[in-house]
Amino acid sequence: MRVLLAGGAGYVGTHTAIALLEAGHEPVMLDDLSNTSRVVTERVAEITGTSVPLVVGDAADDEIIESVFDEHGPFEAIIHFAALKAVGESVERPLDYYANNLDTTYALLRVGLAKGIRSFVFSSTGTVYSDPADLPFTEEATRDLVELSNPYSKSKLMNETVLADVQNAHPELNVTLLRYFNPVGAHESGLVGEDPKGVPNNLMPFVARVAVGVLPEVGVFGDDYDTPDGTGQRDYIHVVDLAEGHVKALENAHPGLVAYNLGTGNPVSVLELITSFEKAVGRELPKAMKPRRAGDLAATYCTPIKAERALGWKATRTIDDMTRDVWNWQQKNPGGYEG
């Protein structure tokens, strides 16, 4: 299957490209490189022995998407990763988040439908669930736009609504919503991993940069939540497990719209993650307790049983696997891809 990966040179996209190649598919990347590097294509080729075409451009630009179809198509499917993704930052920059995260979807759908794609896989998020009382979240848990705490989550739920309406108007289209929980980890080779520009917004890459000496201390945002140790709990999933979930979703797509939670179902607290990372590093890391961040919830974790039953997919890697692989990546790439 030939697959267009919008935002495909990013963290999850790169690992999914590897998983697709290993499963015998043909990915092509479209990415503006705003939060990644061209180097990823060299690393993917080193891991898989196969080169993946990379087109540098904006996934919200119809003309650029059309040029990718004309040069590298036809495509049977689009996987849409292209998005701004930091919860806290979205509270500070709501217009950027709504514009980017919706406009890319509109453009990819306009061109993809005109070019005859059969499947559209959307990177959604477990933060679309709005009622903490629903924990652990199933795919049928409450999703109330007004009750969501931040523009990032709202933009994802808006996208899900758009995709449902488009699929209803095009009943032959396969639309899969993959509600990620918290992707972490890196490829076991240490050749590809998470390399955010500037100071990381997410916990795991921040901890890794503290461990390698780039940043001075790990900030723990909130130690007074109603959780066993007072810090926020998240459902961390290894990015390779997540990538494999995309392959399963494509290979099991049928006309209609379906949503799947992709997580482990096991909540891990901020302090538990840091402790696991310290075990991988072999020493204690400097930490500082700080106030809660705007838009954060006490806990988010899911029930992933639907994906296991329908797709034959299950996350198998542990939190210790995740921290070990991130430390391996960070040690080999202390300055990231360009370091």
Q: What is the DSSP letter of 197?
A: S
Structural contact between residues 116 and 126, judged by C-beta atoms closer than 8 angstroms: no
Q: Which helix (H) or strand (E) element contains residue 125?
A: strand 119-125
- The question of whether 152 is a catalytic residue gets the answer yes
CA separation for the pair 268, 201 (Å, rounded) = 18
CA separation for the pair 123, 155 (Å, rounded) = 12
Cis peptide bond N-terminal to 136, omega within 30: yes
The one-letter amino acid code at 57 reads G
Token readout for 8 is 């495909």
CA separation for the pair 39, 47 (Å, rounded) = 13
Q: Nearest CA to 299 among 269, 271, 276, 258? A: 269
CA separation for the pair 14, 317 (Å, rounded) = 18
Q: Which of left, alpha, beta for 148 (phi over 0: left; psi -120 to 50: alpha)?
A: beta
Structural contact between residues 91 and 294, judged by C-beta atoms closer than 8 angstroms: yes
The catalytic residue among 11, 97, 152, 180 is 152
CA separation for the pair 59, 136 (Å, rounded) = 34
Instruction: Report the alpha-carbon angle 310-316-322, nearest 5.
Output: 135
Token readout for 286 is 């400097």
CA separation for the pair 190, 206 (Å, rounded) = 17
* Inter-CA distances, 93 with 87, 150, 197, 262, Å: 10, 10, 17, 27
Active site residues: 152
